[in-house]
A and B are shown apart, each in its own frame.
Chain A
Amino acid sequence: MKLREIGIGKTVETLGAWMLGALWLLPVVFAFWSAFHPAEYSTSFSLFAPLTIDNFVRAWSYAPFPRYLLNTFILVTLILAAQFILCTLAAYGFARFEFFGKNVVFALVLLQLMIMPEVLLVENYRTISNLGLLDTIPAIGLPYMASAFGIFLLRQSFKTIPKELVEAAQVEGLSAVGILWRVYVPLARSTYIAYGLVSVSYHWNNFLWPLVITSSVNSRPLTVGLAIFGAPESGVDWSIITAATVMTMAPLLVAFILFQRQFVQSFMHSGIK
Chain B
Amino acid sequence: MKPTFQLRYWNQINGWLLVLPAVFMISLFTHYPIVSNLFHSLFSMGTATRPEIFIGLENYKYLLDDDIFWKVLKNNFIYSLCTVPFSIGIALCMALLINRNIRGRSLVRMSFFTPTVLPMIAVANIWLFFYTPEYGLFDQIFGFFGGDSHNWLGNPDSALYCLIVMVIWKESGFFMVFYLAALQQLSPELKEAGLVEGSGSWYYFRRVTFPLLMPTTLFVTVNAVVNSFKLVDHLVIMTKGGPDNATSLLLYYIYENAFSFWDTSYAATLTVVLVLILAAITIFQFAVVEKRIHYQ
Direct contact of A and B (CB under 8 A): yes
A242-B126, A264-B113 known; A120 vs B237 contact (CB < 8 Å): no
Interface-centre pick from B34, B108, B135 (highest chain A CB count, 10 A): B108
Interface-centre pick from B112, B115, B122 (highest chain A CB count, 10 A): B122
A94 to B172, CA, bound (A): 33
A43-B135, A114-B282 known; A260 vs B118 contact (CB < 8 Å): no
The minimal Cβ–Cβ distance linking A11 to chain B, given in whole angstroms, is: 9
Is B103's beta carbon under 8 Å from chain A? yes
| Surface stretch bound by B, among A50-58, A59-67, A185-193, A206-214 | A206-214
Chain A residues contacting B18 (CB-CB under 8 Å) are 89-90, 92-93, 97
- A143–B29 touching, CB < 8 Å: yes
- B181–A16 touching, CB < 8 Å: no
- B98–A17 touching, CB < 8 Å: yes
- Which size class do A's interface residues fall under? 35 or more
Taking a contact as CB atoms closer than 8 A, the residue among A97, A99, A109, A114 that contacts B26 in the complex is: A109
The secondary-structure label for the interface of chain A is: helix
A222 to B259, CA, bound (A): 20
The minimal Cβ–Cβ distance linking B124 to chain A, given in whole angstroms, is: 8
Binding site for A on B (CB under 8 A): 8, 11-19, 21-34, 36-37, 40, 93-94, 97-98, 100, 102-123, 125-127, 129-130, 135, 137, 140, 169, 172-174, 177-178, 180-181, 219, 226, 229-230, 232-233, 236-237, 251, 254-255, 258-259, 264, 267-268, 271, 274-275, 278-279, 281-282, 285
- B108–A18 touching, CB < 8 Å: yes
A97 to B130, CA, bound (A): 55
- A226–B125 touching, CB < 8 Å: yes
- A14–B22 touching, CB < 8 Å: no
Taking a contact as CB atoms closer than 8 A, the residue among A176, A248, A272 that contacts B122 in the complex is: A248
- A207–B118 touching, CB < 8 Å: no
- B34–A146 touching, CB < 8 Å: no
Is A227's beta carbon under 8 Å from chain B? yes
- B174–A121 touching, CB < 8 Å: no
Binding site for B on A (CB under 8 A): 10, 13-14, 16-18, 20-22, 24-25, 27-28, 30-31, 34, 42-43, 86-87, 89-90, 92-94, 97-100, 102, 105, 108-109, 111-112, 114-127, 142-143, 145-146, 148, 151, 176, 201, 204-205, 207-208, 211-212, 222-223, 226-227, 230-231, 238, 241-242, 245, 248-249, 252-253, 256-257, 260-261, 263-264, 267-269, 271-273
Taking a contact as CB atoms closer than 8 A, the residue among B30, B106, B111, B119 that contacts A249 in the complex is: B119
- A223–B177 touching, CB < 8 Å: no
- A123–B121 touching, CB < 8 Å: no
A94-B19, A145-B25, A249-B122 known; A176 vs B14 contact (CB < 8 Å): yes
- The chain A residue with its CB closest to the CB of B115 is A24
A90-B22, A248-B122 known; A127 vs B32 contact (CB < 8 Å): yes
Chain B residues contacting A249 (CB-CB under 8 Å) are 117-119, 122
- B275–A119 touching, CB < 8 Å: yes
A-B contact pairs, 24 of them (CB 8 A): A10-B102, A13-B97, A14-B103, A17-B105, A20-B108, A89-B18, A90-B21, A92-B18, A102-B15, A118-B230, A120-B29, A120-B37, A120-B271, A121-B254, A122-B37, A127-B33, A148-B26, A205-B119, A207-B119, A242-B125, A245-B126, A249-B118, A267-B174, A272-B181
Taking a contact as CB atoms closer than 8 A, the residue among B19, B33, B120 that contacts A205 in the complex is: B120
A125 to B268, CA, bound (A): 12
- The chain A residue with its CB closest to the CB of B216 is A271
